[in-house]
Structure 1
Amino acid sequence: MVSPVTEDDDRVFKALADRSRRFLLDLLFLRDGRTLTELESELEMTRFGVMKHLKVLEEAGLVVTRRQGREKLHFLNAVPIRLIHDRWIDKYTLQQVAALADLKAELERPMTTAKTVQMNRVYIKASAQTIWDAITQPEWTVKYGYQAPVEYDLRVGGAYRGLASDAMKEQGGPDVIIEGEVLEVDPPHKLVQTWRATWLGGEATTLTFEIVEKDNGVCCLTVTHDVTGAPQTAEQVAGNIDGAGGGWAEVLSDLKSLLETGKSVYA
């Protein structure tokens, strides 16, 4: 069965069709959390023109913003691009070719692209409680993303452990791949925790899940990962495509597919 083309797809394709908007996304890929003034300084156009382009990117979900004091910061949201990839590109490419392309891009990626804050947002047609359970319950987490079980003690100060999937165990990896502590918990709307990849070492980072109920049974899930202090050496990044922050765009794309269709993208 062929999946229908959605309005979300149309908005993303329209946003990506303009060279200036692609350039703005490149700027945010190099360094997230920029103000309008910072972005304007990189383009030969008026402030109003940059604002119009940013509005199109926000409407497509490719850019998300948050206030920090009196400033409005702009962040790249890679989830819509991942959804386009899963829907329109991945099925037309050989897995081996895609792996080589990923490797080439990773080896050529400048080390300056390391981010201190990553923001990813996705809209899912599911209840807040269902999304909460899918994030915090091991019977759900084994069905999407890295297909690895989790253990949460959902209270302030409670422990979090991300366990190795069966595939990871076969490769001889550690039993516990992620560890952390719950800092704030407000089910089913907000979870703040520390997050540390055990195989990378370094300082713990901060991970925030926020679930906001919208209209027509749709919820907005925002994942904010502050990876300040995380290790980003060439050897570590080469072994982990998304660095110490995890592959959130891929995971959230798969989560949306699972909750809306009952199937993982990789099933």
Structure 2
Amino acid sequence: MDDVFRALADPTRRSLLDELFKEDGQTLSALEARLPMTRFGVMKHLKLLEEAGLVVARRQGREKRHFLNAVPIQLIYDRWVSKYAAPWAATLSGLKHQLEDRTMEKVFEIYIKTTPERLWEAITSKAMRAKYTFGLQISSDWTPGSRYEGVSGGQPAAGSAAHSAILEGENLEIDPPRRLVQSFRALWSDDVKSEGTSRVTWEIQQVADSCRLTVTHDQLRDEANPELYGGWPMILSGLKTLLETGETLTTPGSLMYAQGPVAGA
């Protein structure tokens, strides 16, 4: 967290984050054009933001695009803000990213002190996943081409005989404990149903005694409903807390999500 606070202390770096918040996935040239400084200066600030985990750089063809990573900010919120905030303060604004093919891609990255095997178990275990997705029950046999389904773990609505699925998809690629690619279709409201199917990729890389987990939610319609991806920072924050401490998040925001749909779960 010290690196994150140091990165946020500089107004230029905060401006860069603001620009990526407005339009995610910008190139160095695009960011340079928006700030009154040299290309080298922008590169220097971006490097510090990357080192703090606030920006994730992805090369796409000949270009290098930069994505705002909201997970460290969510961790700061969990540690320093949530205890003082009202429940509504946990809602995160959607991040806009417009590509030439009129789709969006969201990238989230977090470091967790655990093993790849333990992290894979937490992603695919029905019991463990329910602890950091606030009761969501994920069922699948986790084989390539198999289906998965997510059912809310809360109380059924009055007059309802059983829970209905709030998300579903297909396991497109399974390579334990390194990579999981899934199609994703949200079902919890007519608004999100109309968004169709997107894709979620989980990538695990061991780094010393920890794992870097990168979650990429792509093939999203341009200006897609933020409910589809807005919950990822909170979910990944809960996953880190569970594996490193054995505890579950009880922030006002997590309690709010427990009562409703878990966006991005």
Name the TM-score, length of structure 1 as normaliser.
0.83
Report the structure, 1 or 2, having the larger strand content. 2
Question: Is the 8 Å Cα contact of residues 21 and 57 (structure 1) preserved in structure 2?
Answer: yes
* Aligned 1:1-267 pairs, distance under 5 A: 9-93=1-85, 97-99=86-88, 101=89, 113=96, 116-167=104-155, 169-170=156-157, 175-198=164-187, 199=189, 200-201=192-193, 202-215=195-208, 217-229=209-221, 232=224, 237=225, 242-266=226-250
**Deviations for 1:196-218, whole angstroms, at most 9, x for unmatched residues?**
10132132001000000110x20
Counterpart code for 1:248: W
Structure-2 separation of matches of 1:156 and 1:50: 43
Q: Can you give the 5+ residue segments of structure 2 that lack an aligned partner in the other structure?
A: 99-103, 252-265
Structure-2 separation of matches of 1:124 and 1:210: 13
Task: Write out the 4+ residue segments of structure 1 that deviate beyond 4 Å after TM superposition.
Answer: 170-174
Q: Can you give the 5+ residue segments of structure 1 that lack an aligned partner in the other structure?
A: 1-8
**Deviations for 1:236-258, whole angstroms, at most 9, x for unmatched residues?**
x4xxxx42224110000111001
Counterpart code for 1:263: E
Relative to structure 1, the CA distance from residue 98 to residue 17 in structure 2 (aligned partners, 3 Å threshold; closer, same or farther) is farther
Structure-2 separation of matches of 1:246 and 1:174: 23
Question: What is the count of residue pairs matched by the alignment?
Answer: 240
Report the structure, 1 or 2, having the larger helix content. 1
Relative to structure 1, the CA distance from residue 17 to residue 36 in structure 2 (aligned partners, 3 Å threshold; closer, same or farther) is same
Identity of aligned residues (%): 47
CA offset at residue 139 of structure 1?
0.8
RMSD (Å), alpha carbons? 2.2
Q: With a CA cutoff of 8 Å and minimum separation of 6, indicate the structure with the bigger relative contact order.
A: 2
